[in-house]
Structure 1
Amino acid sequence: MEFKEVQPKEIIQHDHPLILEDLQLMYQNYQEDDDDFDDQDLINMQKFECKCDVCGYRIDWYHRYYYRCSQSSCSYSLHKSCRELSTTLRFPAHLVHTLRLKKSLNSWSCHSCLTEHLAGICYHCSTCDYEIDLRCATFAEQTMIHHPGHPHPLTSITLDPIMSKCYACGKKHEGVFYHCSTCFYFSIHVDCVTLPFKLSLEHHVHKLTLSYSFTVIPYHSKCRICVTSISERDWRYKCSKCRYYVHLDCALSRGEPFMSIFSHGTGKSDKNFKAADYPNLLHYPLPDDSYNIIPHHLLRGDYRHFDQIKSDNMHPSHPHPLLLINAPGTLHNPMERIKLLCNGCVRPITTTPLYGCTMRCNFFLHEWCTRLPSELENHPGHPLHPLSLFHSPPSELAYTGFKCNICGLCCNGFGYVCSVCDYLVDVHCGFIPERLTHEAHPNHLLSRVEASSIQSTSSTLACHACGITINGGEFCFRCGFCDFYLDNRCALHLPKTIKNKYDRHRLKLSYSPIENHKSEYFCEVCEEELIPEIWFYHCQECGQSIHSACAPLILRSEQGVNDSLNDWRGVCKFINMKFGRLVTFYRSHPHPMLLIPGTKIHGRCSFCFGELQSLLIFKCYTCKLAFHVSCGPKNPHGRFLGLLGRLMLARKRRIKPKEELEHHETAIVTFYPNEVMRPVTGHWKIVDGQP
């Protein structure tokens, strides 16, 4: 067998100069926000493949560097390792002698892979007559890949599948893994290696980009498909134009018909009920500003005894005659900062007819609130005894209201009570529906269940709207087909749209971050940060957003009520309270006091010196006194230490200087303002759940 020694430059017989190309250069300079970058160019670059004219094997994107002919009309290409061949080689299987680069003039067989060759370039040991082909000589280079998600080369060191945890997706897999010899911890499954750089999902308008880290991880970011948290170290797909993030396996899952359900109503799913079987089914959110379920139930229910206006225009709930008002007149209108609340259901009055007090004492009733059933039987929360309608809370709760046993909210409007057990519910919870549908989960029926009866896979049950834990004794609405829950407050008490004086458009209830909105969200009412992964109101045209709990607080006098994080979630904690009524503590304080929601400007309690913000308080605007409802008398006629005396005694015992408790009383106005096993990357496009 005849071999002739050659030089590397004799192997590369090409007339044109060669250029070293970096296949990943475009990716390294890629900027997601730059519209000058063509996504298709990046996709084509990742799918790049050609043949090496020296060794005859494939050149791909994962080699990263290769040589090409400088002439655009010539397709001559070389591996970087083939272009930079050495004249000598120390081969691991033949370390006794050094192999030299030679050219065989006859047929020969590679001693490493036993491949037969007719002629060609090889590395040869003349002492042992041992030769290997270029593929085996450059095996290490051929098994090595360069991935833009890691700064060091990666090598597959196993032939058989292994079980290991993948760094990219954070999950355990069995299969081929690529490892980094520099970073001990970095090991990545071949499926994650071959993920496409760009991905299209049917339910999102923009292409998603494979992201290897968060520069700044957004607070409370969740996968938009499975609605669970995204780890800051795991790879994910994200949109450069929206606050849209998805797990790798969620983005590429296919064939599971239920997956679209977790996209908060944006995906497609089959309807699991027939509308004809539920003729009285309520569809939420309700379209009107009053978000009132009472008239819907009164129209569909069969009640024998009703509360009603008497012939002399008197109503048992009020000492003065009531006047039926049919003219539009001045109704509840946040655009004009007009607040008109019903004393019965404590909801905005936005339509006529209505009843108003002839003595102008700020007493108003919806027309339907004068026709409430006087008794409710078999209530789901208290089926043992009937519940009777009452127009004002028991005497000791007459001013501060009562706490509803269903929703847990304070209420000073009408309600239903069990005379045996003192079980209290507000009028809305008195008519809590058994089933409903919701726009956030449109094709599946939601059924009323008690949270303690649900066998959840997780330790806690959380509302999909606000993220707050649903306690065991609470009622919630559940999809029997999906892991979807809504507490009764978010399900029933949030309207579809709201109005804001500083936005000429109506703000719509949104169930996830808005498309084409990448910046942070801030509430136009309280001016605090807004977490768009929980429900909120948003105007697409103007980009304005409002916490769902701040929606009823658009009026000037109510701003600054919310304080803690939970106060901004779900519904307003004072949604069932009507404020503005004067209370007189005859023997304790000489001036009338107002029951109001505490804000920051009210400072601290005159008794316990605790914060007043976001709590029910009594306020005297004559003496500038303010104190928690719990610190005051339970009965306005009862005897207790006078406010002024208590205040003087407390001031003597206080530790903090007087200046810390002095507050400016002027109202604050807030304005809204993947031969050698090499990975092959395919181009994925999810359409109707199939790639």
Structure 2
Amino acid sequence: MEVLSHFSHVHPLIFNDEKSHESEEVYCCACGELVSGPRFSCMECGFHLDKNCAEAPAEMDHPFHRKHNLKLRSSSPYVEDNPICGFCNNICENFVYHCSCNLVFHIKCAFLSYKILEKNFRELVDQYPLISSKCHSQELERVQCFACQKSLLDSDYISPYSGFYLHKKCFELPLEINHPSHRYHSFFLQFNTDHLPCQMCQEIQHQGLVYCCSLCKFVIHIKCVSPPPIIQDLSSHEHPLTRWLRESPFTCDACGTLGNYVSYICMTCSLMVHKKCISLLRFIKSVYHDHPLSHEYFVVDNECTAQVCGFCHEEVNMECGSYYCSKCKFIIHVNCALKEASWCYKIESKDDFDKLNAMLVAITLDPSFLVVEMIKYGENVINTKIKHFSHRHNLVLSDEIKDRSYCDGCSQLILTSFYGCLECDFFLHKSCVELPKKQQILSLIHQDFFVLIPNCIFICAICVQQCTGFAYRCEVYLCKEHVCVRCADIPLSCMSGGHKHLLLFYNRYFGQCCNACGDIFDGNSVYRCKACNFNVHSVCINLHPQTAWHKVDRHYLVLTFHEDTDYSEYLYCDICEEQRSPYTWFYHCAICDNSAHLHCVVGDHPFIKRGMTFIDSDHPHVLVFVEKVYDYPRCCNCGQHCLDLAVECSDAECKYIIHWSCSTLYNRLLEYI
């Protein structure tokens, strides 16, 4: 009787070469498979190992991982991380071979790898027949070849067990090759455990196999070993491009970045480009610009003075490829424009490019208002009367700012020229009057235009604020999303009362704290002044107007950053009387020397216009938004005093008033968040 003392179990294991009884299902504790042949078993606790797993070596020198030996363990050392097998991509729960590089194999996957390495194709095919991809095309759309990580469609493959697939052509790959791009050492087929980028395409393949020179940290993807010698893609370039497969530094004429190995050359145009840049999108619509952009190998425009990228705000080499708008002289690096798929969409052809430009021109020729009368004094126009689509009466331009008047378009204070109605209290900023009737909301990547809708009560899909007034609404998609006029157009630069320099927009930023709210940046969009290291969330720019009003002061409060005092440790808010931080924005009145937290001034609903009327099905009369500054009445719903935003009946005899948060319309709006 053969007895085995195995490291994974405290009791001796007895060899048993008899088949399991039909009513008894015995599973191997190493690989988890049903045992039907010889096995080693513990007579005391029902622990079983099939013969192959029991005799597995304690240490394996694996050619797919030449850096270190793999060691056999009875359980994974990375249980908390739910380690994934490097072969089958399933979670490891039983015996594993592992390495300090965090590479882990199921024991059965390690056995399979040796069959692949030994090129024992006949044994594999006898045990696991070759499968034609033509018979299983629907299933194959969801899976990839283990080695090259490419689709299995249109290529025969083997699948030894569920979850593992291997192209026949990948199975037949040589384990060692020489390559003209790196003549010093051989390349070996192995795992990319260091996650190195391919020197041909500059992309990183985290799983599967690559050809690697470990000494030089030089990696080539399987698909990049033999790039095509000539590529002719008329959609990207009108001439054929010839491969130059030699280590030679160059600057790609398509994207403007460096390359060092494989390149493609157009002898007609004297262009040298990366392989990946051959298929660059010729026309795109970017979130950073209103007009479509075209890819240019070099920009020749005597009027173009904008040589700074609209995304990273770094210099653009005009002699190399970029995306460019000839109408606005807007330019952006190729890699910045295509950094994330959600930041742009493809325009299929030159015809579609021209159609989109024509549509944008047509929108500008269809304004939101018509000029009814031009009031002149001599040759000079001194006033203008217009008819705006949002209001039944004519509006007249005025420079006489009324105390605490709010715009019916954006619900913000009116501090500059505005259009007002002479028959009722309706006001619009001049900028709100000129808003286009249709606009692409680039932040949401909707290719169709949003339509401007007046007199709305909604939650903005971008800033998630409750708003009143104008909204851009999606009319095509089922989402029916609304976007406020502030978020409809994201400026690439802006001035803020909290800082003296121009602030530039960056889509992603990590580190430090926002100089407005004090929160840490975690990949948020941000407005930055690099010279002063001044950084503000883009949301903070939108949520905090430059000038605001609060009952604590009879004057307007101005957004401020720098504190003109030496006693910063004794700074307090004059509204809540709590301490303030000297390193964040606050509102300040220089006349009365009052200062306050941002939220204490703007409150929870800064974009709901007090005085706006609406109808709710739960009340028979017209309702109006109010904020009771004195003599706070009690809410008809909860009985508490109405200290903040409330909804009041416009009929003076009704005496109906409730908190805005108690209204049914408020709760219906929250359903959209």
TM-score, normalization by structure 2: 0.37
TM-score, with structure 1 as normaliser? 0.36
Which is higher, the Rg of structure 1 or of structure 2? 1
- The structure that is strand-richer by fraction is 2
Higher RCO (CA < 8 A, seq sep 6+)? 1
